[in-house]
Amino acid sequence: MSEVLVGGIEAGGTKFVCAVGRTDGTIEERMVIPTLHPEETIPKVFEFFKKHEISALGIGSFGPVDINKDSPTYGSITTTPKPGWGNYPFVAVMKEALDVPVGFQTDVNGAALGEMAFGAAKGLDSCLYLTVGTGIGGGAVMSGEIVQGLSHPEMGHILVKRHPEDAYQGACPYHRDCLEGMASGPAIEKRWGKKGAELSGEKEVWELEAYYLAQALVNYILILSPKKIILGGGVMKQPQLFPLVRKNVQTLLNNYVNVSEVAENIENYIVSPGLGDNAGIVGALVLAGKA
Ligand code: ADP
Ligand code: ZN
């Protein structure tokens, strides 16, 4: 086991998870605090990491974020409506305080890395991680590298075909009825008038949810052909969703993608995170190792 300690931050819209551990994914100490204004949250983060001798830091952050290393605003959170976090120079602030190399990615890219290293995609060279929670976001690793272009992908905002019997207008403030607008946790709550957790027994809720999620996964499969698809986030805590999503994916693909992972063995292809709720924070430790 490596003796070198590294730090990780999974910066979410609702909570910050900070951990000190090793690049083999082991965690030594962890702290969870609510995401308040940065003036309240960040000093607590400094205090936590200053207790330990860390040699690098990895951050998986809620976004959108600037991950383009050539950009003058590299390492900042960009257009979030969260008070205090818009244009927040996250990497610069952490470097200044801790004086260590900092790796920076979106939360879902971090989770995809963590799952590749130690979770459901261990031993593979590609995977896609999708979170279905307050928002929907996806990250992909292909041939061992995080997929990134002009910026990071925004897989949660792809366009989906509306169900003919679904009159809900959609919750996305930018596109209204994109995937996130139709299938995020808040979309479920607004459409049905109750939180997802209270709707477990309502069959039609999950059939409709699977109808939208499966369309998205089909598009990701057709474009990226990842070797594993991992679905995390609060909404995926409904276990009955998985078989429904898998069945809809197979129906939509209609045997066109003729690989056994999809056609015969889909229970092992579309799966929940192998690291459970630790995918993001373990991914942040992996990012620290790369930094
Ligand atoms: P975040 O996206 O804020 O990081 P989560 O992934 O926990 O956090 O997502 C929160 C969303 O997931 C909320 O809209 C919540 O209603 C929904 N959610 C949380 N738990 C469940 C559950 N057991 N079943 C269905 N929906 C849930
Ligand atoms: Zn959208």
Q: Are 212 and 89 in a shared domain? A: no
Nearest CA to ligand 1 atom 13: 185
1 part of a folded domain: no
Q: Are 71 and 149 in a shared domain? A: no
**Residue 76 contacts residue 63 (beta carbons within 8 Å):** no
149 part of a folded domain: yes
Q: Which ligand 1 atom minimizes the distance to the CA of 235?
A: 26
pLDDT of residue 147: 97
Q: Are 139 and 70 in a shared domain? A: no
Q: Are 101 and 223 in a shared domain? A: no
Q: Are 133 and 265 in a shared domain? A: yes
| pLDDT tens per residue across all 291 residues of the chain | 557 999 999 999 889 999 999 999 999 999 999 999 999 999 999 999 999 999 999 999 998 999 999 999 999 999 988 899 999 999 999 999 999 999 999 999 999 999 999 999 999 999 999 999 999 999 999 999 999 999 999 999 999 999 999 999 999 999 999 999 999 999 999 999 999 999 999 999 999 999 999 999 999 999 999 999 999 999 999 999 999 999 999 999 999 999 999 999 999 999 999 999 999 999 999 999 999
Does the C-beta of 190 come closer than 6 Å to ligand 1? no
pLDDT of residue 63: 85
Q: Which domain does 58 fall in, by range?
A: 6-107+277-289
For 204-224, b/e burial (b = at least 16 CB within 10 A) is ebbebbbbbbbbbbbbbbeeb
pLDDT of residue 125: 97
Q: Are 166 and 212 in a shared domain? A: yes
Angle subtended at Cα 169 by Cα 167 and Cα 174, rounded to the nearest 5 degrees: 155
127 part of a folded domain: yes
Q: Which ligand 1 atom minimizes the distance to the CA of 131?
A: 6
Nearest CA to ligand 1 atom 18: 234
Q: Are 221 and 143 in a shared domain? A: yes
What's the total number of domains in the chain? Answer: 2
- Do strands 229-232 and 270-271 pair parallel, antiparallel, or not at all (unpaired)? parallel
pLDDT of residue 168: 98
Specify the DSSP class assigned to residue 115.
H
Does the C-beta of 61 come closer than 6 Å to ligand 1? no
Angle subtended at Cα 184 by Cα 245 and Cα 177, rounded to the nearest 5 degrees: 95
174 part of a folded domain: yes
Q: Are 198 and 266 in a shared domain? A: yes
Q: Are 154 and 216 in a shared domain? A: yes
Does the C-beta of 233 come closer than 6 Å to ligand 1? yes
Write down the pTM of the prediction.
0.95
Q: Which two tokens stand for residue 285?
A: 């430790």
Does the C-beta of 15 come closer than 6 Å to ligand 1? no
CATH value at residue 236: 3.30.420.40
Ligand 2 centroid distance, CA of 130 (Å): 15
231 part of a folded domain: yes
